[in-house]
Amino acid sequence: MTFTEPSDLPTEDSPDDPAVFESDIDINASQRSEPTPATPEQIHAAQAVGALIRADKLVAGYFPGVNILNEADLYAHEGELVGIIGPNGAGKSTLLKALFGLVHINSGSVTLREEDITNLRADQLVRRGVGFVPQNNNVFPSLTIEENMQMGAYQDPKSFSMRFDEVVSLFPTLGERRKQRAGSLSGGERQMVAMGRALMMNPSVLLLDEPSAGLSPALQDEVFVRVREINATGVTVIIVEQNARRCLQIVDRGYVLDQGKNAYTGTGQSLANDPKVIELYLGTLAKV
């Protein structure tokens, strides 16, 4: 996806074209308006067309009258890897939870393949192909790896062996240790269990909330590699990350969320190189 800059918009037609020239003579030049630069909202509206999942002007919060999301926009096209970064408390987790029916949306809409899924329950969203890995408490520690995977497939138990084989092809450790309790695993292994569990329903879009949080740099790297592998199998991924630089390196497109709304958006590379984004959001955050 390319980010539409105002410079990509149609400019003045070539005066060498006589037809254009003739039609131009009738126009009072003083009434011609300069092309106005596209606003973030206009860019969203233009680029989100046909997206697999999109959120428009989401307003949501935990208590009546206290909104955490203030008209946040987001979209992901099929097969895209999309990142969300931003300061602590910006509403990143709230945004993912709102997409997954865990925080009430007061206004705005979420659509999946152009079907309105605003405020559907999480189980209904799972059935429609949305997977979610929360930031905390994302495994059942007293259950084995295999039982965690069964929980992931509870809506479609018949698919268990086939899906488990697929998940194990991505995360071989989960197969080797299938009888081990999730609570006895390292933090990195637990993240694999959490992602594996969400993949058991063969989601078309996977929402990941800070999968690298609390891990050593080496394990963080492994998580990012795994996320790319999951994406390479065709799963659209929306990932929230505290490791902002690393996140922008791996994503196709990113959003900087601040105070519940989009502050910046663009390709991962363009955001990582944007002086304002660097100054405001990357300066003191994790180095690579």
Give the interface with Mg ion as residue ranges (CB under 5 A).
92-93
Among 87-95, 139-147, 177-185, 194-202, which window interacts with ligand ADP (CB under 6 A)?
A: 87-95
Rounded Cα gap, residues 213 and 219, in angstroms: 10
Q: Which stretch binds ligand ADP (CB under 6 A): 90-98, 199-207, 216-224, 266-274?
A: 90-98
Which of 268, 197, 233, 158 is closest to 211 using CA atoms? 197
d(CA 154, CA 201): 9
CB of 135 to Mg ion, least distance (A): 5
Burial track 182-201 (b if 16+ CB lie within 10 A, e otherwise): beebeebbbbbbbbbbbbbb
- Within 160-216, residue ranges assigned H as helices are 160-170, 172-176, 187-199
21 binds, among Mg ion, ligand ADP, none (CB under 5 to 8 A by kind): none
Residue 261 in contact with ligand ADP, rule: CB under 6 A: no
Asked if 94 is part of the footprint of ligand ADP (rule: CB under 6 A), the reply reads yes
Name which of ligand ADP, Mg ion, none residue 94 binds, using a CB cut-off of 5 to 8 Å depending on partner kind: ligand ADP
Q: Which of residues 46-75 bind ligand ADP (CB under 6 A)?
A: 62, 68
Q: Does 137 bind ligand ADP (CB under 6 A)?
A: no
Residue 111: strand pairing partners: 54, 116
Of 89 and 183, CB closest to ligand ADP = 89
According to CB under 6 A, which one of 83, 91, 129, 152 is a site residue for ligand ADP? Answer: 91
In 14-90, alpha helices (H): 18-25, 40-47
Q: 182, 192, 189, 177: which is closest to 226 by C-alpha?
A: 192
> Per rule CB under 6 A, is residue 6 in the interface with ligand ADP?
no
Question: Using CB under 6 A as the criterion, which residues of the chain lie in contact with ligand ADP when the complex forms?
Answer: 62, 68, 86, 88-94
